[in-house]
A and B are shown apart, each in its own frame.
Chain A
Amino acid sequence: MPPTDATNGQLPRSAFRVPRSPDALLKVEGLAKRYGRGCDRCYELTGPEHGTNECPNCGTLVACAEIGFALAPGQTLGIVGESGSGKSTVLACLYGDTAPAAGRAYLRSFEDGRRDIFDIAPGERRTLRNFQMGIVYQHPHKGLNLRISAGGNVAERLMATEWRRVADIRERAGSLLGRMEVPPSRMDDLPAFFSGGMQQRVQIAKALANGPSLLLLDELTTGLDVSVQAGVLDLIREIQAASGIAMIIVSHDLGVIRLLAERTIVMKDGRIAEAGLTDQILEDPQHPYTQLLVSSANV
């Protein structure tokens, strides 16, 4: 277990406090992930105050630790930080791509938020993923099977939830892809032959297929050219407005965060360096790292 009182002069205590909002859609407490054999001192010897996320005692990589936050329904949370700061690990743990070393998370739409989603059987976990969550990865090949058709990729989500009529599946997949501005004529083409922006649109369609309550976006626009980025971001804003779905957006691009996120977490060396309203963080950064980030981003 990570020590909960590991504060020092630099860190605001609020970074470790779990917001107590009874109506939160998602609550995460004390989430940690380590790569390596680990020792008792891993958590106290790493973090922004030490300037590293590698334990000097045992060499274990502390990808993230002491991560706590709450997300209201329909709200969008941004996670910013430099490469290797643990942003994507938080998403990977929440989506179940990797098992956390410690921590609890409660999703209100899963058994009324009474059961820790990190502590359930793999089959239940998969059901949870299929029905309640959607994810869009930075690299389309992680989220899509590029050797099956775009429609087939969306259909995978539907068939995971017991859709067994080809006509219905095609209608639903076609309308989702249409909303994402993927032309219906390309529904049966392989995404391997799509442009990067279109592949991301297919990923978003797939993520939204089962009407999830939580959408996880991992470096959604990184690697896309600027005009395509704008199109994809517009799409996300439309989804926000239309469906009221809650989102967590991981990005190192403060522009994306400013555009989409209401609240923001700044991560550094696997910890939360600063958390709060996006405007507050961008206009009046408190943590030295956030100050550096904001001044160098020029947004």
Chain B
Amino acid sequence: MVIDQQRDPQIPRSAFRAPRLSALAGAPEAYNYAFLDEVSKREIRRALLKAVAIPGYQVPFGAREMPIARGWGSGGLQVTLATLGPGDTLKVIDQGTDAGVNAVNIRRLVERTAPGVATTYSTAEATIIQSRHRFPEESLRADQIMVLQVPLPEPLRMVEPRESVTRQLHAEADYTRVWVHLYEDVITNGEISRASGYPVMVNGRYIMSPSPIPRWDIDKLHQSASLTLLGAGREKRIYAVPPHTNVVPLDFEDYPFRVEDFSGKRCARCGATDTYLDEIIVNGGGRLYACSDTAHCDERVSAERETRNAE
């Protein structure tokens, strides 16, 4: 039924306005620090310690019900909430941008429930960076932690549907089926066609799904100065890549791994030629390219403006 407000002045306009979620959620003091209760945080931290101790190994954990839907970063959020404390600065990225609705919501939740934690758009200022699908363009430092949201943590799922079997394959490091999968890909498509979540070998032992980051970002995992934590809430798995760990994409000697090719293209805003670019289809069917990492792009634009002003 559609009520026409214009014809029925008896109904106040406010009745049609949705109540603010903050009003429904109650006072922030009603929640434990960083939303999760202490026992849950302890369990997640234990899983994180184990994950760091066995690079690339998926540690099962009891994923909690979160105020965002499973599949929307609930795993990454739990890792973030169990990791941060007063004095931390959090940056949240959704597909490269800090202004995505999911990133905004996660940042707000932390602001409301974790006093003492600052939030930022700047990669350099952040101590913890939660991200979906992207790494920041800048290299991370040893004092920074990268948290990735993972929809499907099991790299062997594409070749084996049974969890009991994939665990055994991991235990015995029997990765032949993944290689056959890549071989089939080469003979049907002429190259390894995997665009995101490219399977990688971590520390020469476990094959790991790096979450759906583009190939461009795989190299940022290899021998990174920072710690990378990966959380899959729906699939209830946590895994990690410690600092200075080898992360090698699987490839063949005659079909080597290669990243996305942006040669001859540049960002329409900042003019960058060395970043991962998003393709934007504009009116009339033309193509425009812009940096996927918007914070990095903004910094370049403002730096350029400052130099121009100085001149």
CA gap between A169 and B254 in the complex, in Å: 11
Answer yes or no: B31 CB below 8 A from chain A CBs.
Answer: no
Answer yes or no: B179 CB below 8 A from chain A CBs.
Answer: yes
Instruction: Decide: B174 and A156 in contact? CB cutoff 8 A.
Output: no
Given contacts A123-B172, A126-B172, contact A156 B180 (CB under 8 A): yes
CA gap between A102 and B196 in the complex, in Å: 48
Instruction: Decide: B187 and A151 in contact? CB cutoff 8 A.
Output: yes
Answer yes or no: B259 CB below 8 A from chain A CBs.
Answer: no
- Quick one: which of A123, A166, A188 contacts B252, CB cutoff 8 A? A166
Answer yes or no: A167 CB below 8 A from chain B CBs.
Answer: yes
Answer yes or no: B176 CB below 8 A from chain A CBs.
Answer: yes
Answer yes or no: A148 CB below 8 A from chain B CBs.
Answer: yes
Distance (Å) between the CB of A171 and the closest chain B CB? 12
The count of residues in chain B whose C-beta lies closer than 8 Å to any C-beta of chain A is 17
Instruction: Decide: B186 and A166 in contact? CB cutoff 8 A.
Output: yes
User: Which among B168, B177, B179, B188 has the greatest number of chain A C-beta atoms within 10 A?
Assistant: B179
Main secondary structure of the interface of A (DSSP, over half): helix
Contact with B along A31-67 (1 / 0, CB 8 A): 0000000000000000000000000000000000000
Answer yes or no: A164 CB below 8 A from chain B CBs.
Answer: yes
Q: Which residue of B lies closest to A161 (CB)?
A: B176
CA gap between A126 and B174 in the complex, in Å: 9
Instruction: Decide: B253 and A169 in contact? CB cutoff 8 A.
Output: no
**A151 proximity list for chain B (CB < 8 A):** 187
CA gap between A159 and B252 in the complex, in Å: 11
Contact with A along B125-158 (1 / 0, CB 8 A): 0000000000000000000000000000000000
Chain B residues numbered 156-180 whose CB sits less than 8 Å from any CB in chain A: 168, 172-174, 176-177, 179-180
Answer yes or no: B184 CB below 8 A from chain A CBs.
Answer: yes
Contact with A along B189-213 (1 / 0, CB 8 A): 0000000000000000000000000
CA gap between A160 and B172 in the complex, in Å: 12
**B179 proximity list for chain A (CB < 8 A):** 156, 159
Answer yes or no: B255 CB below 8 A from chain A CBs.
Answer: yes
Instruction: Decide: B180 and A152 in contact? CB cutoff 8 A.
Output: yes
Distance (Å) between the CB of A60 and the closest chain B CB? 25
Q: Which residue of B lies closest to A153 (CB)?
A: B180
Contact with B along A146-172 (1 / 0, CB 8 A): 001101100110011000111101100
CA gap between A152 and B188 in the complex, in Å: 11
**A169 proximity list for chain B (CB < 8 A):** 183
Instruction: Decide: B173 and A149 in contact? CB cutoff 8 A.
Output: no
Given contacts A123-B173, A159-B179, contact A148 B184 (CB under 8 A): yes
Instruction: Decide: B187 and A165 in contact? CB cutoff 8 A.
Output: no
Excluding A148-B180, A166-B255, A170-B187, 4 further A-B contacts by CB distance (< 8 Å) are: A159-B176, A160-B176, A165-B253, A166-B186
Q: Which B residues contact A (CB, under 8 angstroms)?
A: 168, 172-174, 176-177, 179-180, 183-184, 186-188, 252-255
What are 5 A-B contacts with C-beta separation under 8 Å? A126-B172, A152-B187, A159-B176, A166-B252, A169-B183
Closest 6 interchain pairs by CB?
A159-B179, A160-B176, A165-B253, A156-B180, A123-B172, A166-B252
